[in-house]
Amino acid sequence: MKGALRKAVRCLPTENVPVWLMRQAGRYMSEYQQVRAKVSFLDLCKTPELAAEVMITAVNKINADAAILFSDILLILEPLGFEIAFPDTGGPQILNPIKDANDVQRVRELQSVEPLQYVMDAVKCTRENLDESKPLIGFSGAPFTLASYVIEHNASGYHKFNTVKAFMHLYPAEWDLLMTKLAVSAARYLNGQIRAGAEIIQIFDSWAGCVSQEDYRKYVFPYSKMLIDLVVPGAPVIHFAPGNPMLLPLVSEAGGNVIGADWRVSIRQAWDLAGKHRAIQGNLDPAILLTDKDTIRRHVLHILRLVERQPGFIFNLGHGVLPQTPVENVIALIDMVHELGRVI
C-alpha cells in the first residue's frame, strides 16, 4: 500500500506523518482567487475540469499528502428540493428553507446520483490528474449539519442553531423523517463518489458541537451512525464533528475509522476520548497559521510529541484554513510535518 495516509487511516505504522488540510484549496490562495474572478463558486463546483484543477493546483503547491474533492456540503441539497446560493459576502444561503414541520414532507430523498453527475465527474477528473501516491478524499455533510442549513439559515451567515434545536425537540417525528432522508441521501451520494474514485470519505458534522451530550445521543447519533453504516465497506471514513470535545466518545461510537479533533482539546486527550481503536486526525488551531514560522514550528512539535509516533495519526488543522492565511505559512507547515514527523 503506497502512501502514508492510506496506512494511517487503517492504524498501520508509517514512516512519515501524513498531512492534508481542510480547506486547502480556497480563498487564501491567489491561484484560487484568479479562477474565482472569472467564475462563480457554484459554476466552479459544476465544472469538473475546473474543480479538479483548483484542487490539484493546491495539492501540488503545498505538497499535501491527499486531495479532497473540490465541492461543497450544500450541493446535495439541490436535488433534495432546496435552492442554494453562495453570495460573495456572508455564508451560503438556502432560499426556500423548512419553515414548519409540514415542510419536511416536500424534502425529496436522493434516489440516484444522476443529478449530481458533475460531482462524480469532478471525482474522476481529480483522480486522473492526481499523483497516484495521494488518495482522493470524497465528502458529505452529516445529517445534523445539513439539517442546520435547511431548517435555519441566517442571512448574516452567523449560525446560532436555536431554530434547528427547537425543531428537533418540538417535532421528533418530523425530525426523524428529515434526518433519515438526509442520512440515506448522503450515503447514496458518498457511495457514488467511491464508485467514481474517492478512496477515503470524510463526514463533516461541522455544527454538531452546539448540542448537549444527551441531545447528541438522541437527535444526532442515530442518523450519523445510519449514514456511516450505509457507506460501502472498504472505504475508510473520517468522522469530523468539531466544537465540543465532550462529544468525542459518542462521535466515535457513531462510527468512522478516523475521528477528527479540533484544537479545543489536546490531541492526546482527544485520542483517549475517541478510543485507541480509531485513528485520529487534527488538530492545529488554524489561527496559528496567522503567526510566524517559529510559532508554527513550536506548535507542530508539541502535537507530534503528544502523539508519540503511535500508528493512526493524521496531521490536519482543527478546522479549515482561514481565508487570510499567508500561503507560505501553509507550505512551511506541511514541510515541517514531513521533516519533524520522521524524526520525532
Residues that bind ligand 1CP (CB under 6 A): 22-27, 36, 41, 68, 70-74, 86, 91-92, 139, 157, 204, 206, 319-320
Residue 21 Cβ vs ligand 1CP, minimum distance, rounded to whole Å: 8
Residue 129 Cβ vs ligand 1CP, minimum distance, rounded to whole Å: 16
Task: Say how far apart CA 251 and CA 270 lie, in whole Å.
Answer: 11
Residue 103 Cβ vs ligand 1CP, minimum distance, rounded to whole Å: 20
Using a 10 angstrom Cβ sphere, with 0-12 exposed, 13-18 middle and 19 or more buried, the burial of residue 201 is buried
Among 26, 28, 30, smallest CA distance to 68 is for: 26
Residue 206 Cβ vs ligand 1CP, minimum distance, rounded to whole Å: 3
Strands in 136-252 per DSSP E: 136-141, 200-204, 237-240
* CA–CA distances in Å: residue 293 to residues 21, 204, 298, 332: 17, 29, 9, 7
Q: Which of 79, 286 has the CB closer to ligand 1CP?
A: 286
Among 183, 210, 208, 174, smallest CA distance to 99 is for: 174
Among 203, 330, 332, 209, smallest CA distance to 263 is for: 209
Q: Which of 24, 281 has the CB closer to ligand 1CP?
A: 24
Task: Say how far apart CA 107 and CA 182 lie, in whole Å.
Answer: 9
**Kind and range of the H or E run holding 181:** helix 172-196
Q: Which of 144, 219 has the CB closer to ligand 1CP?
A: 144
Q: Which of 68, 332 has the CB closer to ligand 1CP?
A: 68
Residue 320 Cβ vs ligand 1CP, minimum distance, rounded to whole Å: 4
- Closest residue to bound ligand 1CP by CB: 91
Residue 54 Cβ vs ligand 1CP, minimum distance, rounded to whole Å: 8
CA atoms within 13 A on the CB side of 71: 31
